[in-house]
C-alpha cells in the first residue's frame, strides 16, 4: 500500500482518519496510548506543511450526539502531546467545518467532532463520504483499530481522494501481516479470553500456520471438557464441544502441538475475595470454577515460548481484572518480555493486561487494534486497508 511518504503533502488539505477511541472515566482519558500512537503521522504531516484535518470515532453513539462522547478532552490531550495548538470544531461536516478548514495554514491541525454522531458514518453513506472528501485533497488512514469497519470515514472517503496509509497503519500491517504471511519458526500462538465463539475464526486460521497453539482462559474449559475432564462450574459452551474436539483432531493431523491447561486456580464463586485453590486439571471440584491457569501450566507455556522465534498472544489466561487471578496472564506477559522471539500482542484485553503489568514497551509490538487485529488473525481482508491505493 502507498504511505504518506509516497505523496507530496505540502500545502495540501489532508483528511486523516485516526483511532482516538480511548477509554474515558468521568470525562477524563484513562489511557492515551492510541493518541500517542498517531503522533508520528500527525507530526510528519505538520512538519511537511500539510493542513491536517483529523477525524475519529469515540464509543458507539449510533448516529446521535452524545455529550459524553464529544472529542473535547481528546483535543486537549492531543495539543499537550503535540506541544502545539489543536483547533477543535464541535461538528463533523457542514458550513462551520468548511470555514475552519479554509482558515487552516500549513502545519495547522484541526480535530473534527466524533464522526459517529453522523447517522451516515457507520452506514458508509455515499453522501457523507463525499462531504468528508470535499474537505480535503488527500485521505490518510492511520486508524488501524477501525480498519475492520467499512464506514464513511474509513472506506467510503477513499473512493473520492488519493488514499494512503499513515505510519501507525503501516507498522501494524507490516508487523502482524508479515508475521502471519511468512512466520519465523517455531511459531507459537497463545489464545485466551472468555469465549470459544469469539475465537473460532482465529483458531481455524492459526491452525494452518502455527507450530504450537497454547490455549488458556475461559474458552479453554470447553476444550478441557472435550478432552473428557469434569470442569465443575467453569465456563462451558456446550454447543462448541464438537468444534473443540474437531480443532484438537485437526491439530493432531497437522502436527500442531495444541496445549491446554494442566492445572488451574479454582474459586468457590466469581469474586476477588473468593475461596481459591490450585488443582490438577483432572481434579476440578464440582462446585468450583476455574479462574486462572495454574503454576504448572505457566511453566509449560513458558517452556514453549522460550523455544519459539515468533509468538503472537491474544486474550487473557484468566480473570485478570481481579489481581489474585491475574498471575497466569501476567506470567505470559513476562515470558514474552524475556523471550528473544518476535513478540506480538493483539489489542483489546491482552493489550490492556500487558499495559497494566507495565510491560507494554518491552515486547516487539502491541497492536492498537482489538477487533482489527483479530480479523487479521482470522485471515480476513480489512475494508479500511483494501480501500487504500496500491503502490504502482
Ligand atoms: C476498537 O476500539 O476496537 C476500535 O476503535 C473500533 O471500535 P468499534 O468496535 O466500536 O468499531
pLDDT tens column, 54-72: 999 999 999 999 999 999 9
What spacing in Å lies between the alpha carbon of 55 and ligand 1's midpoint?
Answer: 14
* Residue 348: active-site member: yes
Strand order in the sheet with 212-215: 257-259, 212-215, 187-191, 310-314, 342-345, 365-366
Q: Would you state the cell numbers that stand for residue 274, as one nine-digit string?
A: 473468593
Position 11 confidence tier, pLDDT thresholds 50, 70, 90: very high
Q: What is the pLDDT of residue 230?
A: 98
Residue 21 Cβ inside 6 Å of ligand 1? The answer reads yes
What spacing in Å lies between the alpha carbon of 289 and ligand 1's midpoint?
Answer: 31
Q: Are strands 365-366 and 109-111 parallel, antiparallel or unpaired?
A: unpaired
What spacing in Å lies between the alpha carbon of 357 and ligand 1's midpoint?
Answer: 23
Tens of pLDDT, residues 269-281: 999 999 999 999 9
Rounded CA gap, 365 and 194, in Å? 23
What mean pLDDT is predicted for residues 26-46? Answer: 96
Residue 67: how many CB atoms within 10 A of its CB?
A: 8
- Chain centroid to Cα 161, Å, comes to 27
Residue 371 Cβ inside 6 Å of ligand 1? The answer reads yes
Rounded CA gap, 86 and 84, in Å? 7
What mean pLDDT is predicted for residues 293-320? Answer: 97
Give, for ligand 1, the residue of 143, 371, 382 to mutate: max count of ligand atoms closer than 8 Å to Cβ. Answer: 371
SS3 259: strand
Q: What is the pLDDT of residue 297?
A: 98
What mean pLDDT is predicted for residues 94-115? Answer: 98
Tens of pLDDT, residues 340-366: 999 999 978 899 889 888 999 999 999
Q: Would you state the cell numbers that stand for residue 143, as one nine-digit string?
A: 486508524
| Backbone angle region of 323, left / alpha / beta, with phi > 0 → left and psi within -120 to 50 → alpha | alpha
What spacing in Å lies between the alpha carbon of 382 and ligand 1's midpoint?
Answer: 13
What spacing in Å lies between the alpha carbon of 32 and ligand 1's midpoint?
Answer: 15
Ranges of each domain in the chain:
4-168, 175-377
* Ligand 1 atom closest to residue 59's alpha carbon, by position in its atom list: 10
Q: What is the pLDDT of residue 357?
A: 87
Name the catalytic one among 195, 254, 324, 362. 195
User: Is 369 labelled a binding residue?
Assistant: no
Nearest CA to ligand 1 atom 11: 146
Q: Where are the alpha helices (DSSP H) in the chain?
A: 33-47, 72-82, 95-102, 119-123, 126-134, 167-181, 196-207, 220-226, 241-254, 295-306, 327-338, 349-356, 371-377, 383-386
334-to-76, 216, 329 alpha-carbon distances in Å = 34, 16, 9
Rounded CA gap, 194 and 209, in Å? 23
| Residue in 197, 207, 200, 187 with CA at minimum distance from that of residue 235 | 197
| 305-333 per-residue burial string, b: 16 or more CB within 10 A, e: under 16 | beebebbbbbbbbbbbebebbbbbbbbbb
User: Is 20 labelled a binding residue?
Assistant: yes
Q: Would you state the cell numbers that stand for residue 41, as one nine-digit string?
A: 503521522
List all residues 6 or more positions away from 20 whose beta carbon is below 8 Å from its beta carbon.
34, 35, 38, 54, 56, 57, 58, 71, 74, 78
Name the catalytic one among 13, 34, 77, 171. 34
Q: What is the pLDDT of residue 25?
A: 93
pTM, to two decimals? 0.92
Residue 146 Cβ inside 6 Å of ligand 1? The answer reads yes
What mean pLDDT is predicted for residues 147-166? Answer: 98
The CATH class, in words, for 175-377 is alpha beta
- Check residue 382 and report its DSSP letter: P
User: Is 321 labelled a binding residue?
Assistant: yes
What mean pLDDT is predicted for residues 354-381? Answer: 93
**Region 4-168: CATH code:** 3.40.50.1260
* Residue 195: active-site member: yes
User: Is 19 labelled a binding residue?
Assistant: yes
What mean pLDDT is predicted for residues 90-116? Answer: 98
The percentage of the chain sitting over the pLDDT mark of 70, rounded to a whole number, equals 100
Strand order in the sheet with 276-280: 276-280, 263-267, 289-293
* Residue 34: active-site member: yes
Rounded CA gap, 133 and 159, in Å? 9
Q: Return mean pLDDT, the chain.
A: 97
ipTM attached to this prediction: 0.98
Rounded CA gap, 201 and 347, in Å? 16
SS3 16: strand
Residue 145 Cβ inside 6 Å of ligand 1? The answer reads yes
Q: What are phi and psi of 164, to 5 degrees?
A: -130, 165
Name the catalytic one among 348, 369, 370, 384. 348
Give, for ligand 1, the residue of 74, 146, 349, 351 to mutate: max count of ligand atoms closer than 8 Å to Cβ. Answer: 146
Amino acid at each position: 500500500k502507498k504511505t504518506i511518504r509516497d505523496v507530496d503533502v505540502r500545502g495540501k488539505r489532508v483528511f486523516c482518519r485516526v483511532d482516538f477511541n480511548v477509554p474515558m472515566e468521568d470525562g477524563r482519558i484513562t489511557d492515551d496510548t492510541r493518541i500517542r500512537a498517531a503522533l508520528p503521522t500527525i507530526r510528519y504531516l505538520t512538519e511537511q506543511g500539510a493542513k491536517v484535518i483529523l477525524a475519529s470515532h469515540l464509543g458507539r453513539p449510533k448516529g446521535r450526539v452524545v455529550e459524553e462522547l464529544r472529542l473535547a478532552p481528546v483535543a486537549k490531550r492531543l495539543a499537550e502531546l503535540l506541544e502545539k495548538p489543536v483547533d477543535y470544531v464541535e461538528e463533523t461536516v457542514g458550513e462551520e467545518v468548511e470555514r475552519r478548514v479554509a482558515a487552516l495554514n500549513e502545519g495547522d491541525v484541526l480535530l473534527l467532532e466524533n464522526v459517529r454522531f453522523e447517522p451516515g458514518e457507520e452506514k458508509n453513506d455515499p453522501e457523507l463520504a463525499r462531504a468528508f472528501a470535499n474537505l480535503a485533497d488527500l485521505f490518510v488512514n492511520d486508524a488501524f483499530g477501525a480498519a475492520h469497519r467499512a464506514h464513511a470515514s474509513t472506506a467510503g472517503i477513499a473512493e473520492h481522494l488519493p488514499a494512503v496509509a499513515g505510519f501507525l497503519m503501516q507498522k501494524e500491517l507490516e508487523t502482524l501481516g508479515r508475521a502471519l504471511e511468512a512466520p519465523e519458526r517455531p511459531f507459537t500462538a497463545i489464545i485466551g479470553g472468555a469465549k470459544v465463539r469469539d475465537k473460532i475464526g482465529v483458531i481455524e486460521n492459526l491452525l494452518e500456520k502455527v507450530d504450537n497453539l497454547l490455549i488458556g482462559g475461559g474458552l479453554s474449559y470447553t476444550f478441557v471438557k472435550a478432552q473428557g475432564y469434569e470442569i465443575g462450574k467453569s465456563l462451558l459452551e456446550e454447543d462448541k464441544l464438537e468444534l473443540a474436539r474437531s480443532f484438537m483432531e485437526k491439530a493432531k493431523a497437522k502436527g500442531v502441538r495444541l496445549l491446554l491447561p494442566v492445572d488451574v486456580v479454582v474459586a468457590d464463586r466469581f469474586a476477588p475475595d473468593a475461596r481459591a485453590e490450585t488443582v490438577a486439571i483432572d481434579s476440578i471440584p464440582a462446585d468450583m470454577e476455574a479462574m486462572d491457569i495454574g503454576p504448572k501450566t505457566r511453566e509449560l507455556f513458558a517452556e514453549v515460548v522460550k523455544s519459539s522465534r515468533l509468538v503472537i498472544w491474544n486474550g487473557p489466561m484468566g480473570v485478570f481484572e481481579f489481581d489474585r487471578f491475574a498471575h497466569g496472564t501476567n506470567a505470559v506477559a513476562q515470558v514474552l518480555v524475556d523471550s528473544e522471539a518476535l513478540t506480538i500482542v493483539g489489542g483489546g484485553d491482552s493489550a490492556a493486561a500487558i499495559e497494566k503489568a507495565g510491560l507494554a514497551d518491552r515486547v516487539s509490538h502491541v497492536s492498537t487494534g482489538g477487533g482489527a487485529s483479530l480479523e487479521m488473525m482470522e485471515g480476513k481482508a480489512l475494508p479500511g486497508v483494501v480501500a487504500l491505493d496500491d503502490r504502482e
